[in-house]
């Protein structure tokens, strides 16, 4: 298996633009997580899905952030409009069944908002 796939790996955009980050979880995993990592705040859980259904989105910082999982093999995290403080590395992770302590992380998307 190729592992969790994220795209793009790097994104540079200007303030106010819409940003869409994509994730393909490991086949067979039915839980998916979006994290954000910065030097100041560390690794923060934004939202997680189980069987494509959002379970907890309390970590989503603002209404500018939204996430979808239309099917078991694809998820998106959208920021609209983006702001410089959104600059961070965004990780997607997936896990098998309900045992979400063992998560498999993707390589991350480094987002820079100018």
Partner 1 sequence: LAKTTQPISMDSYEGQEVNITCSHNNIATNDYITWYQQFPSQGPRFIIQGYKTKVTNEVASLFIPADRKSSTLSLPRVSLSDTAVYYCLVGDPDILTGGGNKLTFGTGTQLKVEL
Q: What residues make contact with partner 1 under the rule CB under 8 A?
A: 4, 31, 42-43, 45, 48, 50, 55-56, 58-59, 91, 93, 95, 98-108
What gap in Å lies between CA 2 and CA 91, rounded to an integer?
16
31 vs 75 by CB, closer to partner 1:
31
16 vs 61 by CB, closer to partner 1:
61
Long-range contacts of 100-104, Cβ-Cβ distance < 8 Å, separation of 24 or more: 100/31, 100/33, 100/48, 103/31, 103/33, 104/3, 104/4, 104/26, 104/29
To partner 1, the closest distance from the beta carbon of 37 in angstroms equals 9
To partner 1, the closest distance from the beta carbon of 112 in angstroms equals 14
What gap in Å lies between CA 32 and CA 26, rounded to an integer?
9
To partner 1, the closest distance from the beta carbon of 81 in angstroms equals 27
């Amino acid at each position: 298996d190729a592992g969790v796939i994220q795209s793009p790996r790097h994104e540079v955009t200007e303030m106010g633009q819409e940003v869409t980050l994509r994730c393909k979880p490991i086949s067979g995993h039915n839980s998916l997580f979006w994290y954000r990592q910065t030097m100041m705040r560390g690794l923060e859980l934004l939202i997680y899905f189980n069987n494509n259904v959002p379970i907890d989105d309390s970590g989503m910082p603002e209404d500018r952030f939204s996430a979808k999982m239309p099917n078991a093999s694809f998820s998106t995290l959208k920021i609209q409009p983006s702001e410089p403080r959104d600059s961070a590395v965004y990780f997607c992770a997936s896990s098998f069944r309900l045992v979400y302590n063992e998560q498999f992380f993707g390589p991350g998307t480094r987002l820079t908002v100018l």
